[in-house]
Structure 1
């Protein structure tokens, strides 16, 4: 039986976000992702159910992945943020997982955590609804890519987003990876551009530290000389790191059902009388 060659996308690292003093606000660390290639529905579903023994993959997510595969007719990212232990477990049993490949993938990291959740925003996998809008043109975006969802990540998506690379991977007749195909030159990804903010990270942290836990509200600090924003704080907040690789349904429900409304950005969307 002859081996088959497939082109697979190589995710590009997003640009690094810096504060006014050159401190890193958001960067990338090495991560792992699991992707599954299209195939007969029954066999793909059975493989996903086997993967679910090693990674958090609820039945609802399996059905969503099956629907995505039907809609796009191409590989789908099963989990964009897998820990090394799960990767090792899958690799040890590689023969059980035809059509599955594990790859290094840049993983977003937010150094301000909850102190800066509203201002940095977070990234997530692009949705079918987003791909249908002008904000995500089809010559630059495709299913499986990670994009800015809210905050600075969304506002400066076009700057921070890099250009995906391509690798050519050889599979045997059973859909197992043989290795990279040497006959065609792979194209490395191009990282996104860096972003330098006017924000002062230490001031943002200090406000978070002194802001009373029991209160909701916002703090905006401006530079009187030029009106530049030095801090933009909203409480209660959320940790954007929880969204990297996809937030679990239970955690998303908790954030949405919280009466204090931590997802609402009071510093930008709240209506307050001046000096109140």
Structure 2
């Protein structure tokens, strides 16, 4: 299969490339080679490369930046997926679209299923939800994948940030009132690789197993990394005072993934172990 990946230079794009290149022919496109907000550019790129499937991993993921760059957020996160969906529908090409836990408001007391009603509170979440809606409405052959708290190689992420701060500070304040499921990009890419083998179209929640707060995640990162000299201080969301509201509880129930007969992704702690090993390997090369 020939797969075109948009946003191929991003963290998930790199993981998708590493995983899918083992079985498929790949074309990776990112800025400046492809601007998904430009419909004619999308049409030209797809016509030229003639893929059998498109994976949209392109997004404007600066959650706080979205609050002030509203037009840009909706252009990339909503109109971009719309453009891809239109072209996919015209050419009868399946599409994979990556979405987020931020489409929910975070007020639930149990994990969100795919059938639960979204209610985003941030511009980022609202723009991603509109992108989902365009994909559903404009093309039948789609996989919409909501995931959360991504970490992995080749990109900014919470794990890398904690490891960097540990070299700079003796104490780090980390939010302890937001709960989610950290997800390793390599594991997500493997799940996507499994899913696209069959026309099981629809919306899926796909995350690593297990839940934690950001504070608990930071403690686990330092435990596994053998960092003992840094004190991790639990703080509240209000103390951070970020521009964009965050979901307090955004655990995703991988319900339809399980119903489809797919194996649950491994525990996030085990995935973290492999990620830290990959970082050590990179440092030693």
Question: Taking structure 1 as the reference length, what is the TM-score of the superposition?
Answer: 0.26
Higher strand share: 1
The structure whose Rg is larger is 1
Which structure has more RCO (C-alpha within 8 Å, separation ≥ 6)?
A: 1
Higher helix share: 2
